[in-house]
Chain A
Amino acid sequence: MESTQFKTQLKKQIVEFLNLLSVNPEDIKDDEPLFGEGLGLDSIDSIELIVLLNREYGIVIEDPKEGRKILVDINTMADYIEKNRTK
């Protein structure tokens, strides 16, 4: 899958998984911060996203603190998934 296409799919998955009611997946910028400013996600969301990475891509992250280094923005997430996915 092409990189932009993959990122579009990832954005849809995030919006659906976190039930981000008012967010249109296409409006999320690739370099927009997921936490704090930007999408405004919190610590529970970071755990939810670790579960998403596991269920969709077979990636296992044991330490939520490690997770936050990956879950910076769509670019870092997509990059990590492409390198580490097992499914």
Chain B
Amino acid sequence: MNRIVVTGLGVISAIGNSVAENRVSLMEGKCGISRLEMFPSKFSDVLPVGEIKISNEALKEKLKAPEPGITRTTLLALHAINEALADSGLSNADMSSSGTALVGASTVGGMCLTDEMYMDSQKDTPGSEYLASYDFATTCMYLQNYFSIGGPVNTINTACSSSANAIMYGARLIRSGRARRAIVGGFDSLAKFTINGFNALHILSTEHCTPFDEDRKGLNLGEGAAFLVLEKEEDVRDKKIYASLSGYSNANDAFHASSLSDNGDGPFRAMKDALASAKLNPSQIDFVNAHGTGTENNDKVESIAMLRLFEKVPAFTSTKANTGHTLGAAGAIEAVYCILNLAEQELYTGLHFTNPIATTKLVPFQLYKKTPLTHIMSNSFGFGGNCSSLIFSKA
């Protein structure tokens, strides 16, 4: 079977505006969690976030995107996709070919404009410039038009596992012959909407999040965007190949709307089926980029599922300690990090861990090191029991 390979990467997050900047931050163990500055919220001083410190105006200027109605979510997406397309060397003709697909993922979309959206949804207010911008699909519609993308253009929303599923869908479009290449990714920006939503569930930490720590207090929200260019290996010719996407799976926990089952049935099945799709044994996985949000429920259940699957749990960390939880962008940003792990043959410094969870005793990877890596798993779990796992392999 022809392998699906990654030929381009782009990312913007709280720890860097490019793939290279993100890598340096990961190597140095940089934490991008800070005080919320880009919009007013009652929680600015209380709930730290993984914010990208570039204003919308500066992003518009930098990206030459002055159109009215453009949202921060779309600006972040455009920033990341520009980098990925340049990296993969795709021409305008490549983009407008009917063989080029775009599959995006977002859970915030235009809701980053919480106040404007509230006003526009009321009956007797004049409409703002953002009327057509609130939908989750707005960003992909913008990118379709911007690059004249000729093939399928889709947006997937499975909450916090959205962009892992976008990556899967893009790969399957290629495998089925519906696309020659797929540009896949996720994008979300911080919003009053999500800050208040996660806060209402009492799962936001007032401190830096501490994934897999016994005393973890919840997650930090973040923002960002990332894109991958997927192609068939036979089409790549002399381009640089970062890694291959060797396996994937999507399963449902079918337990509760906002928390995972005690046994981690959904996470277990997603990981197990991803291994089966890659035709690998658990022992062949060298590293897991865990979902690891830092909440009581997720980290415990994910640990239990890993213990069920792996005879010896491989090295693992959660990069959400660096970036915050970027929701619909998380799966794509973390996919970029996994691909960097493989391409550079290195593991990055894990952050903010002190004591293992008493019942599972798993200790995440701690200090940067160069090490041989062949297969890496990336987990993304979301509300509604939506669990997905991806496996990337050395080029």
Contact = CB atoms under 8 A, between A and B. Distances in A.
B296 to A, nearest CB: 10
Interface string B254-268: 001111000000000
A64 B200 CA distance: 11
Contacts of B201: 44, 47
Nearest to A44: B258
A43 B200 contact: no
A44 B201 CA distance: 8
Contacts of B240: none
B258 A64 contact: no
A77 to B, nearest CB: 19
Interface residues of B, number: 7
Nearest to B259: A43
B200 A47 contact: yes
B62 interface: no
B202 A42 contact: no
Most chain A CB neighbours (cut-off 10 Å) among B202, B257, B258, B259: B202
Contact of B256 (A42, A47, A64): A42
Contacts of A47: 200-202
Interface in B172-204: 200-202
A15 to B, nearest CB: 20
A12 B61 CA distance: 56
A14 to B, nearest CB: 18
Interface string A55-86: 00000000010000000000000000000000
Contact of A64 (B202, B257, B259): B202
A64 B256 CA distance: 18
Interface in B196-216: 200-202
A64 B204 CA distance: 13
A47 B201 CA distance: 7
Interface in A19-47: 42-44, 47
A44 B257 contact: yes
A66 to B, nearest CB: 11
Contacts of A43: 256, 259
A18 B257 CA distance: 16
A64 B201 CA distance: 9
A48 to B, nearest CB: 9
Contacts of B259: 43
Contacts of A44: 201, 257-258
Contacts of A42: 256
Contacts of B200: 47
A33 B258 CA distance: 23
Nearest to A62: B202
Nearest to A64: B202
10 contacts: A42-B256, A43-B256, A43-B259, A44-B201, A44-B257, A44-B258, A47-B200, A47-B201, A47-B202, A64-B202
Q: Sorted from nearest, which 7 A-B pairs have the closest CB atoms?
A: A64-B202, A47-B202, A44-B258, A43-B259, A47-B201, A47-B200, A44-B257
Interface of B: 200-202, 256-259
Given A42-B256, A43-B259, A44-B258, 7 more contacts: A43-B256, A44-B201, A44-B257, A47-B200, A47-B201, A47-B202, A64-B202
